[in-house]
Structure 1
Amino acid sequence: MQGDGDASAVDSPAFLANLHAGLAQFWGEQMQEMEVLEISTEQAFKVHNDLPLARIKRIMKSDEDVRMISAEAPVLFAKACEMFILELTLRSWAYSEKNKRRTLTKEDIQEAIEKTDVFDFLVEVIQ
C-alpha cells in the first residue's frame, strides 16, 4: 500500500496498523462487491450508481481533447469516484478518531490528504 508518509507529525505504529487494517478490509469488501455484482443489463448498471452520470459526462466533455464518450465511460468514472470518496472518507475518519472526535472536520480531510502519497495531487487544493 502506498505511503502514509512525509507530514510534520509522525503517526504512531498502532494508528498506522489500524488504518492499514481498515483499508485492507475496505478494499476487500470493494473487490467482493464487484465480483458478485449481478447486473443483467447495461441500464441496470447505469442506475446502480449514486453519482449523476449526466454531470460526470459534462465534466468529461469539458476537456477540449475529448471528442466522443462511450456509454460505459461515465458509469466507470462514477464507480471510480465513489471508491475515491469512500477511501478518502475512511482515512479522514481515522484521523478524526485519532483526535478523539466523533465529527469529521475539514482538518481531518486535510490531514488524510497530506499524509497519503496518492493524494498528493490534492495538496494544492486544500492549501
Structure 2
Amino acid sequence: MENNNHQQPPQDNEQLKNFWSKEMEGDLDFKNHKFPITRIKRIMKFDPDVNMIAAEAPILFSKANEMFIMDLTMRLWLHAQERKRLKIQRFDIAAAVAQTVIFDFLLDEVTKE
C-alpha cells in the first residue's frame, strides 16, 4: 500500500519525466566534473573497509551527486511554483523530501528545524 504523502501531482511527474528524458538523451560528460574528484576520493578513504578505489569510482560518484542535486532542485522548484513563488525557501526542501519516496533517508534531517 502506497503512502499518500509520497504522491506527486500529475503535472510534476510530467515535468520531471521531461526533464530526465532530456538529461538522459544528452551525452554523459565524465570529463568535466562538478565536484572535486580528489575530495571525493578522500571522503571514500575515510571508510576503514576501503583499501583501494578504482579510478572510475570517484568520477561516477561525482556524476551521481550531480544528478541527485539536479533532481532534488527540480522538485524544490516545482514545489515553489505550485505555491506561486519564484524563490525556493527552506520549507520547500522539507515538502519535496516528504513527497518523494527515494528521499526518505533525508526526512529526519530536513524536519529538524
- TM-score normalized by structure 1? 0.78
In the TM superposition, residue 102 of structure 1 has moved relative to its aligned partner by: 0.4
In the TM superposition, residue 96 of structure 1 has moved relative to its aligned partner by: 0.6
Q: How far does the alpha carbon of each residue in 1:20-72 deviate from its partner, in whole angstroms, 9 at most, with x for none?
A: 11111111112111xx44x7xxxxx34x1111111111111111211110111
| 1:23 maps onto 2:16 in alignment | yes
1:103 to 79, 87, 92: 87
1:94 to 72, 78, 94: 78
Letter in 2 for 1:6: N
Unaligned runs of 5+ in 1: 40-44
In the TM superposition, residue 5 of structure 1 has moved relative to its aligned partner by: 3.6
Number of residue pairs the alignment of both structures matches: 110
Identical counterparts, % of pairs: 42
Query: Structure 1 segments of 4 or more deviating over 3 A?
Result: none
Ranked by relative contact order (alpha carbons within 8 Å, sequence separation 6 or more), the top structure is 1
